[in-house]
Structure 1
Amino acid sequence: MAVSVKIEDSMRERIHNLANARQRSSHWIMRQAIQEYVEREEKRQQFHQDAINSWEKYQADGLHVTHAEADQWLAKLEAGEDAEIPQCHQ
């Protein structure tokens, strides 16, 4: 599928300069940029959806760990200890 995108001359020049420096085509640079943008935005959308799902689950069952419990667990991991994940509770 062919798609055309209108870009300003200054951006076209920047892409051309980058392509020359990378020994790639301008087309490759643009495809790579679009691919990376879409992948990043898909991950961001999934993160957002995961947060919504977690919030809804918490509202339904009330299970959680406190900030202090999570902080203690992370401190142990940071220190290189083999720490078990804190148990969720109400």
Structure 2
Amino acid sequence: MATSVKLDDAMMARIRNLAGIRQRSPHWLMREAIAQYVEREERREALNRETALAWDEYQATGKHVTSEAVNEWLNTWGEVDERPAPGCE
């Protein structure tokens, strides 16, 4: 599917310059930039959904793990006496 994006001359010059440095076409560079942006934003939306679900669950149950418990657990990572992850209270 073909589409078009209107860019000002300065931005197009920057894209052409970077494309030359990367030894890629401006078209390739723009497609790659869009693909990376969409992937990043999809991950952000997934995290937002997970956060909302976690908040809903907390409000319904009151179960949580304190930051202190998590920090104590993380401080044992890689140690001989590494602890299991703390549970919700």
TM-score (norm 2): 0.92
Structure 1 residue matching 2:76: 3-state secondary structure: helix
Structure 2 residue matching 1:28: 3-state secondary structure: helix
Q: What is the aligned-residue RMSD (CA, Å)?
A: 0.9
Structure 2 counterpart of 1:37, one-letter code: Y
**Cα deviation digits, residues 12-32 of structure 1 (max 9, x gap):** 000001111111000000000
Matched residue, 2:43:
43
Matched residue, 2:2:
2
Matched residue, 1:61:
61
Q: Distance in 2 between matches of 1:70 and 1:28?
A: 44
Alpha-carbon distance, 1:83 to partner: 2.1
Alignment gaps of 5+ in structure 1: none
Sequence identity percentage: 49
Alpha-carbon distance, 1:63 to partner: 1.0
Identify the structure with bigger relative contact order (alpha carbons < 8 Å, sequence gap 6+): 1
TM-score (norm 1): 0.91
Alignment gaps of 5+ in structure 2: none
The count of aligned residue pairs is 87
